[in-house]
Amino acid sequence: MNRAMLSIAGWLSLALFGCGEAGDLALSAGAPATAAVAGTITECGTPVAGASVALRVDQDESGQVRPVDSRTPAVVTDRAGAYLVEIAPAFAISGPATVRLLVAPPGGTMQDIAGGTAEFGLLQPPSDTLHLDADLGVAARACH
């Protein structure tokens, strides 16, 4: 078989099978599933500028090649304590995923804060944004 025929056979197998896995190599014929999370980080009601915000993302739905258990790179909050994270982990599919906030104020330690459920979809940019605000003082029971 010549190279052209092998190439055509390869593309046809991708088109026919959509998504699949070969050993440790996952193949996807579609767009990545994405979601967005935005919010404000405060401490006892005062915005925290320069806080590091990362997300812990978990998704384990039927029909998924592999479950998602990942952490996003950190972003930094602006002067108003606001952040926005767009997420597109490998192997994510359209549907719900559990998201937790990992927040470290400037010079402080990382806090794992309860999150919510983000809805992954195939649109770029994501069509829906999960809104998660967190008050570090309330989470640490330090506000009076």
Same domain, 49 and 100: yes
Q: Does residue 62 form part of some domain?
A: yes
- Same domain as 83, residue 19: no
pTM exceeds 0.85 for this model: no
The dihedrals phi and psi of 55, each to the nearest 5 degrees, come to -125, 140
Does residue 74 belong to any structural domain of this protein? yes
Residues 26 and 63 grouped into a single domain: no
Residue range(s) defining the domain that contains residue 18: 1-30
How high does pLDDT run on average in the chain? 82
Enter the tokens of residue 108. Answer: 């402080």
Same domain, 18 and 73: no
**Per-residue pLDDT averaged across 106-130, rounded?**
89
The Cα 9–Cα 5 span in angstroms is 6
Tens of pLDDT along 47-77?
999 999 999 999 998 878 899 999 999 999 9
- Judge if 18 and 85 occupy the same domain: no
Query: Model confidence at 31, in pLDDT bands (50, 70, 90)?
Result: low
Q: Please tell me the predicted confidence (pLDDT) of residue 22.
A: 42
Residue 144 lies in a domain: no
Q: Inform me whether the pLDDT recorded for 7 exceeds 70.
A: no
Say if residue 62 is in the same domain as residue 83: yes
Residues forming a β-bridge with 118: 97
**Does any domain span residue 68?**
yes
Statement to judge: residues 6 and 70 lie in one domain = no
Q: Is the pLDDT of residue 26 over 80?
A: no
List, in order, residues 6 or more apart from 4 with CB less than 8 Å away.
none
- Of the pLDDT bands very low, low, confident and very high (cuts 50, 70, 90), residue 3 is low
CA distance readout (Å), 54 to 20, 65, 123:
29, 25, 22
